[in-house]
Structure 1
Amino acid sequence: MASNTNICGICSLRQIRKTSDHWCPECEEALCNECKDHHKLLKATRRHEPIPISSYKSLPSFITDIQQSCDNHNEQYQLYCNQHALPICLQCINDHSNCNVTSLEKVTSNVKASGQFLDLESSLGDLLQNIERIKKNREANVTNIEKLREQHIKEIKQIRVEINNHLDNLEKQVLEELREKEFQCKESIQKVLLPVKERGSIITQCQLNFKSIKDYASDLQTYIGMRDLEVKVDENEQYLQSFIDTKGLEHLDLVYKVDTNVQNILNNLKSFGSIEIKNHISDIELTRAKDKQAQIQVAAPRKTVNDVKLIQQKKIITNGAVVRGCCMSREGDFLFTDPALDSLVIKSDGTLKYEMSVDPSNGFDITFVDDNNVAITSGHSLWKTGIDIINIENRSKIKFIELPGRAWGITRDHDSLFVCVSQFGIYRIHTADYTTSHVISCTLPSDSYVSIFADKIYYTDRLENSVVCCDSYGSRVWTFKDDSVLKCPRGITVDNDGNVFIVGESSSNVVIISKDGTHQKEILTKGDGLLKPTAISFDKQKKKLLVTNKEHSAFLYNVA
């Protein structure tokens, strides 16, 4: 940045002191109105685009400190070293002979229209939205706590009317507990709210800086300055994500539990009740541009059902009797569940690695919880209805999660398991503490399967020969039903583009349905070796599709 931007640089060389009105980013010099007019007429500078001096001064210092020329050689930057991430002049090239050097014009051309720049702009906006969302959520929680306090006070007072005066002391104790727990809730919330507000101020300033950069900074300044903003964006994204990871955004409620003896045994009453803080898993999901665009400069078009091609990679002999579930490990092992044999079968390179009994469960469907543990549903079992968590490294059962009905299809989405429970609907299990919640209430038949993509839940209904798509609140978005194409739908999975794959056991095929449910295509048939297929699994990282017949065999495909 020039030492004095308040006076015209050209006039100053002529020993004339005139106030500057403009700034030339290319020359890095302040200009008065008269000199600006001459500047636009000179052949060497007529293509320069001076900006108002006030606009230049609005740029953050880390941008104005970025120079257009080399300090060492006093030459204009013309090249860019990708290895060292800095601009260089032609004389600097000797110091970067082994580096990946490219034209400066190439890396800075249209930088403000680049995907990276637009992603940064979107990230700043997302950060502010996330901060505002958290602020509102926490403030609403405080308001709700206060309302619950008032509600519980009324309950306490109503009970107090019905009993005699000797309960005064107990009433004081429970009200004091209520105030203490309220204070604990607010104190806990404020620990999140105050630093979030501070971060909001920081990101607001970043956004103001970003707007100035967008409007007034040179392309070079923009390109170099973006890294500082990206560091702040990444830091604050991680900071906000830490609240999710550490359960800092769990919803707090004040819950008053009335002692059951209050109504019946006044003389022996030892407690007026208790005040508890009830934690709810936060429903806040942070919006991030990187999640939406995966740091690509131009979003890749999604594949439609007509674009999807399957290339068979191998055939696997399962020797199964009634295979109902399948999945693939990170190492490339194939896992199959066979309720007819009450077993979990693991195959590697097409050969049997080991077989493990899941008795007394039937072992219906399977999904990975993490690299070492799998979740297996109990299926037709009469003794236990729920999910076994099994460590496949030491071949041991480590936990059983009980559910209200028979558990069938299961899938994992991030830190949650989703499972079909006949006659009840779909349940969600949080893998951190294995707590359960009822997501969709419906009369599901047995042998239903489920899959998740983004905010949509997909499940099959073999009795209705249908595939149903719901939103995260359980409201139906679309239903696919065509008996001529799909009969007795079983396993279901979704690829990276939201296309839904379903196996039809009675139709012996795999049907792919578009994300919006409007288009479908039969992508595999009996001619491809399918005979009563029952299970299907898609590996989103490796882009491989595993399709399993009820008996004997399975097929692995590359999805192109």
Structure 2
Amino acid sequence: MATCTSFCGPCSERHSTKQSKHWCSECEEGICDDCQEHHKVLKATRSHILIPIAEYKSLPSFITDSQQSCTYHNEKYQQYCVAHALPICFKCIKEHQKCRVITLDEVTNNAKTSGQLKDLETRLMELLQNIDKIKKDRKANLKNIEERKELHLAQIQQIKNQINKHLDKLEKEIIQDLEKKEHQCKKSIHNILSSVEEKKNLIAEYQTNPQSIKQYASNLQTFLVTRDIEVKVFENEQYLQSLIETNQIEQVDLVIKVDPKVISILNSLKNFGSIEIKTLSSRIRLIRAKDKQAQLQVTPTKTIKDLKLILQKKITTDCENITGCCMSVNGEYFFIDYYLRRRLTGFASDGTFEYDMLLSPSYGFDITFIDEKTIAITSGDSNEHIGIDVIDTESRRKTKFINLPGRPYGITRDHDSLFVCVERRGITMATCTSFCGPCSERHSTKQSKHWCSECEEGICDDCQEHHKVLKATRSHILIPIAEYKSLPSFITDIQQSCTYHNEKYQQYCVAHALPICFKCIKEHQKCRVITLDEVTNNAKTSGQLKDLETRLMELLQNIDKIKKDRKANMKNIEERKELHLAQIQQIKNQINKHLDKLEKEIIQDLEKKKSINAKEYS
């Protein structure tokens, strides 16, 4: 790690970088060996004392952090205000005109040899000794308190009646059993509630956006998102049905069975009773407008545990400090050679070197792709060029620059947004939809005002006119960019281009139920393939979308019923628990009352026998 003390201050002023070997406390900067000689002989600095840089770095922070310059005027302290006991600079004199002011030398000359420093050392030593004494005394007092506590606990324990001890033990055991069974019941119910709440949130998002789909999504997006939602709806319908079939939402109750021996002989008591979980048939009947005959085949999703990393290729570069890399859809590789070289290095898909591009004044720290031919590079530690360079990889030119409020480092892209780690700001988002796509192609930067779902790019007001009249785009529907940004992610994230070939979907494979591009046709030669228009033309007006809205509404209603039922069951369990606790306490009180009666009777009998004996001997 490089710090501000690592480099020579005078050399840095000459735009040169040299390691500092000494530190000047007066100048508050590092000095290299060459500059040391000048520092010793210059009139302004010849009286300054230099120390090895290693010794300076080993000093405690309360010394190195001490400010020798005025925090208000950024000038060296030169005088001392006796009235306020403060060092001041020459600009501060205005606020201290009525004070007694002396030169700083009068105060500091004997600072190291004065009795004040010796007195301070003595007082510090005394403070440490006093603190140690207080700690020792408090620890001894703490130990004494613990010992007295243990003694009194032992006395209390000794006094306790053995029979009451036995009853307390039985009471504790059955209460623990009651708590355990209650926790078991509530945990099961909580798990169901948590699961259905999570599913409700997902379904609610889908259910509240059909109008957005109809109004703003393209036919292809509508078709794809409808199909995805239908899969989710089917999965959740099956899940709710499985809760019924597997008895997971049966009514749960707590029942106490008191041991008959509790009310008989005390010595025969083995336990207070037992807690049982009693289940009743579920009272829930799910709302189903109709039972679906055709069921979608749901492919099991893969988890991170199913993935394995395989080394495919090694690339050798002459870069000195690689801090970022990325790969294009065509397999090209791009590396950032950071700080000193400040360059972008490109390699072909086979690993052969193609070109270097200078990034200066940007240092170039991290890189990510915006689209198949555009990359974004953060400027890193650069002070004069703070932001993101957007570069066209085909023309190898910078097309735009995005200013940021702090020095940016790591960067990644998620659909239409760039996420950047900005110094002192944290993660900052810059949207790719903010700029007009056609203008960017002309290496111009304009704010987009509209969004075309077919072209999947922003359009400015000027380009909107051409977009409306061009034959290829006149049928496209434009929406305000603000409305596009407010759409839920499950709509905007729908891909309308092939992820393998980066071409627009144009056809539909009926056998695999997949949209495909013209390059995919090789893998689907034996399948029945139709045009995408045949599938998507009626996507917004078909009964399928209406049916989906109904099923989503039914799902939400069923989830609310399950939640209401589970919460009622939970409340019933808590009420039953309180009832059983009261029963346990009542039985214990009856036994204690009976023991008190027996104790009183035997004491009376003892007194009676004692009185009889006394009369006999009198």
TM-score class, shorter: under 0.3
Quick check: which one's helix share is greater? Answer: 2
Higher relative contact order (CA 8 A, sep 6+): 2
Give the TM-score normalised by structure 1.
Answer: 0.28
Radius of gyration: which is bigger? 2
TM-score, normalised with respect to structure 2: 0.25
